[in-house]
Amino acid sequence: MPELTPHERQLLMALLEDGVASNTDLAKVLRVSPTAARKIRMKLEKSGIIRGYRPVLDLSVLGVHVFTLLELRILPKGWAEERGASIQGHLVRHENVIAVYRLPEGQSTHAVVAGFRNQDEVDRFLHVLQSQYSELLEIRHCYTFSTRSVLKDNPRELLNMILLEWDEAKMPRALTGMPVRVLNIPMPEEAE
Whether 11 is in a domain gets the answer yes
User: Which is nearest to 129 in space by CA: 51, 46, 73, 57?
Assistant: 73
Task: List, in sequence order, every residue forming a beta bridge with 140; answer none if it has no partner.
Answer: none
163 shares a domain with 127? no
d(CA 20, CA 26): 10
The CATH number linked to 182 is 1.10.10.10
Total number of domains constituting the chain? 2
164 shares a domain with 178? yes
Q: Note the pTM of the prediction, 2 decimals.
A: 0.73
Q: What pLDDT does residue 1 have?
A: 58
145 shares a domain with 103? yes
Q: What pLDDT does residue 34 have?
A: 97
143 shares a domain with 74? yes
- 69 burial type by CB count under 10 A (0-12 exposed, 13-18 middle, 19+ buried): middle
Residue 135 DSSP class? T
Are 122 and 144 spatial neighbours (Cβ–Cβ below 8 Å)?
yes
Whether 61 is in a domain gets the answer no
Q: What pLDDT does residue 5 have?
A: 92
Q: What pLDDT does residue 84 have?
A: 59
23 shares a domain with 42? yes
139 shares a domain with 109? yes
Task: List, in sequence order, every residue forming a beta bridge with 27; answer none if it has no partner.
Answer: none
Structural domain for 106, as ranges: 66-149
19 shares a domain with 75? no
- Residue 165: phi, psi to the nearest 5? -85, -5
140 shares a domain with 77? yes
Q: What pLDDT does residue 154 have?
A: 84
112 shares a domain with 135? yes
76 shares a domain with 34? no
d(CA 156, CA 90): 30
95 shares a domain with 42? no
161 shares a domain with 96? no
Whether 1 is in a domain gets the answer no
d(CA 29, CA 24): 9
What is the mean pLDDT for each group of 10 consecutive residues in the chain (192 residues)? 86 92 96 97 95 88 96 86 73 94 92 97 95 90 93 87 72 46 40 36
The CATH number linked to 88 is 3.30.70.920
